[in-house]
């Protein structure tokens, strides 16, 4: 039997649907079961197989903090204080000697509750319950950080386990790579799309419109064996240079038209961002037709049960793109780029 862990996760809040979809995809890719998930505004509580927290921390783009879940209750002060009093502090403070309490208000929830006052009062309750046994408050480097979130009508409380180093994503932004191109997607969305493809360490991941390698970098960082191709030789060179800059191994990056890549053999996962005919060229092809032809072609290389994740502009007719394929549409996520362009991220699965 597998052990179970109960987690409290602070999502980045950058998008409505992608963070939770990403968590579910990571679990599926890593073959870890989520038994129960409850989504509140920017916070989610989930019960799943042991190892889920580590996998999310290692891979997710849209997660900020991972905590051990302690309790959730209404945003009523008496209820909050009673719930804190009933915690098993002997277990929590086993071999630990200091703590801090932090309260994080999501958006403007519970404006009538002072986060500072709540923090102070919960700290006092903990000291009262356990302070005599040598536990003290340490705001600078506590052994245990209790964290409470005021979110949509609920107060959720836990212990911080991992704060995600989101700065490393920012450092991989297109402008910091040796070979930059304006069409390259930011590393957060690129990583999220790789995650949505259920790719996992050791899998063959393929991007047939690889540009300067944004997806390949993110897939290689989670341990995939990456394959990329592009119709433009400068992009092929750019991808290779960028992967080498980060010291990342790759199976191959080669010149190929995405309308005809059927000879590469089977791959485990595909995530890609075909050109929309604006920032990157389609070499004269109608962008919608190009995406449709790629999708039809992708069926010949993606393994059975494998995922194809593709970004398209909102104006594309999704039914038309998929009509001649057996790919099943599982998810659609809309991501606004600017006033005239919203991307749609399609998550497709081959049966
Ligand atoms: C939006 S960019 C991809 C950006 C990429 N995700 C990155 O991070 O750099 C689209 C790429 O598709 C390539 N492309 C255009 N038509 C193609 C075709 N028929 N087959 C393969 N690649 C093509 C372009 O050269 C361009 O590099």
Three-state DSSP at 191 gives: helix
pLDDT in tens, 313-330: 999 999 999 999 999 999
Please report the pLDDT score of residue 123 as a whole number. Answer: 96
Pairing of strands 302-313, 267-272: parallel
Q: Are residues 125 and 218 in the same domain?
A: no
Q: Are residues 223 and 126 in the same domain?
A: no
Atom of ligand 1 nearest to the CA of 212: 9
Measured in Å, residue 68 CA sits from the centre of ligand 1 at 42
Please report the pLDDT score of residue 132 as a whole number. Answer: 75
Measured in Å, residue 130 CA sits from the centre of ligand 1 at 60
The CATH number assigned to the domain holding 74 equals 3.30.2130.30
Q: Are residues 241 and 136 in the same domain?
A: no
What is the distance between the alpha carbons of residues 216 and 203, in angstroms, rounded to a whole number?
A: 12
What is the distance between the alpha carbons of residues 212 and 176, in angstroms, rounded to a whole number?
A: 12
Mean of pLDDT values over 240-256: 97
**Phi/psi-derived region of residue 297, left when phi > 0, alpha when psi is between -120 and 50, beta in every other case:** alpha
Please report the pLDDT score of residue 262 as a whole number. Answer: 66
Q: Are residues 108 and 28 in the same domain?
A: yes
Last residue of some domain: 163, 190, 205? 163
Atom of ligand 1 nearest to the CA of 238: 9
Please report the pLDDT score of residue 134 as a whole number. Answer: 84
- Higher confidence at residue 264 or residue 125? 125
Q: Are residues 299 and 215 in the same domain?
A: yes
Q: Are residues 143 and 11 in the same domain?
A: yes
Q: Are residues 196 and 276 in the same domain?
A: yes
Atom of ligand 1 nearest to the CA of 183: 1
Tokens of 192: 């999220």
**Atom 13 in ligand 1: residue holding the nearest Cα:** 209
Contact 11, 42 (CB under 8 A): yes
Ligand 1 close to Cβ of residue 84 (< 6 A): no
Three-state DSSP at 175 gives: helix
Ligand 1 pocket test: pick from 187, 194, 212, 235 the residue with the most ligand atoms within 8 Å of its Cβ.
235
The CATH number assigned to the domain holding 304 equals 3.40.50.150
Domain count for the chain, please give it. 2
What is the distance between the alpha carbons of residues 55 and 37, in angstroms, rounded to a whole number?
A: 16
Mean of pLDDT values over 53-62: 97
Mean of pLDDT values over 67-89: 97
Measured torsion, CA atoms of residues 270, 214, 24, 224, in degrees rounded to the nearest 10: 60
Last residue of some domain: 125, 145, 163? 163
Ligand 1 close to Cβ of residue 236 (< 6 A): no
Q: Are residues 191 and 293 in the same domain?
A: yes
Please report the pLDDT score of residue 96 as a whole number. Answer: 79
Measured in Å, residue 261 CA sits from the centre of ligand 1 at 14
Three state DSSP letters for 148-179:
EEEECCEEEEEEEEEECCCHHHHHCCHHHCCC
Pairing of strands 302-313, 327-338: unpaired
220 is in which domain, residue-wise?
171-350
Write down the mean pLDDT value for the chain: 95
Q: Are residues 212 and 332 in the same domain?
A: yes
Last residue of some domain: 113, 146, 163? 163
Q: Are residues 252 and 337 in the same domain?
A: yes
pLDDT in tens, 32-56: 999 999 999 999 999 999 999 999 9
Please report the pLDDT score of residue 260 as a whole number. Answer: 86
Lookup result for tokens 């998008």: 15
Q: Are residues 67 and 130 in the same domain?
A: yes
Please report the pLDDT score of residue 130 as a whole number. Answer: 85
What is the distance between the alpha carbons of residues 140 and 48, in angstroms, rounded to a whole number?
A: 32
**Which DSSP string do the residues of 116-140 spell out, in sequence order?**
HHHHHHHHHHHHHHHGGGT-EE-SS
Contact 64, 107 (CB under 8 A): no
Evaluate if residue 207 carries a pLDDT over 90.
yes
Evaluate if residue 158 carries a pLDDT over 70.
yes
Q: By mean pLDDT, which of 109-123, 147-161, 238-252, 269-283 is the weakest?
A: 269-283
Contact 70, 85 (CB under 8 A): no
Spatial neighbors of 312 by CB under 8 A, at least 6 apart, are 274, 276, 291, 318, 321, 343, 344, 346
Q: Are residues 189 and 335 in the same domain?
A: yes
């Amino acid at each position: 039997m597998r052990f179970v862990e109960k987690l409290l996760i602070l999502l980045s809040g950058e998008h409505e649907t992608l963070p939770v979809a990403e968590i579910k995809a990571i679990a599926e890719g890593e073959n870890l079961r989520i038994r129960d998930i409850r989504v509140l505004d920017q916070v989610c509580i989930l019960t799943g197989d042991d190892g889920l927290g580590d996998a999310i921390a290692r891979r997710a783009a849209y997660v900020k903090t991972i905590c051990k879940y302690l309790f959730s209750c209404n945003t009523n002060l008496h209820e909050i204080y009673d719930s804190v009093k009933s915690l098993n502090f002997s277990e929590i403070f086993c071999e630990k000697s200091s703590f801090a309490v932090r309260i994080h208000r999501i958006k403007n929830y519970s404006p009538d509750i002072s986060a500072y006052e709540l923090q102070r009062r919960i700290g006092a309750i903990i000291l009262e319950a356990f302070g005599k046994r040598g536990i003290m408050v340490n705001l600078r480097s506590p052994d245990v950080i209790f964290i409470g979130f005021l979110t949509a009508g609920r107060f959720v409380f836990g212990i911080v386990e991992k704060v995600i180093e989101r700065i490393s994503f920012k450092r991989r932004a297109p402008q910091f790579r040796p070979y930059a191109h304006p069409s390259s997607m930011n590393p957060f969305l690129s990583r999220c799309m790789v995650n949505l493809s259920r790719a996992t360490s050791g899998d063959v991941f393929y991007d047939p419109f690889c540009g300067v390698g944004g997806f390949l970098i993110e897939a290689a960082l989670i341990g995939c064996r990456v394959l990329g191709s592009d119709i433009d030789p400068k992009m092929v060179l750019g991808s290779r240079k960028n992967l080498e800059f980060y010291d990342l191994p790759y199976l191959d990056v080669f010149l190929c038209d995405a309308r005809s890549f059927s000879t590469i053999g089977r791959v485990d996962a595909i995530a890609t961002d075909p050109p929309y005919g604006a920032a990157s060229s389609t070499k004269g092809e109608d962008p919608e037709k190009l995406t449709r032809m790629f999708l039809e072609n992708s069926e010949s290389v993606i393994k059975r049960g494998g995922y194809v994740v593709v970004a398209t502009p909102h104006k594309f007719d999704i039914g038309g793109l998929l009509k001649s394929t057996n790919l099943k549409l599982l998810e659609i996520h809309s991501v606004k780029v600017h006033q005239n362009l919203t991307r749609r991220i399609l998550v497709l699965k081959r049966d």
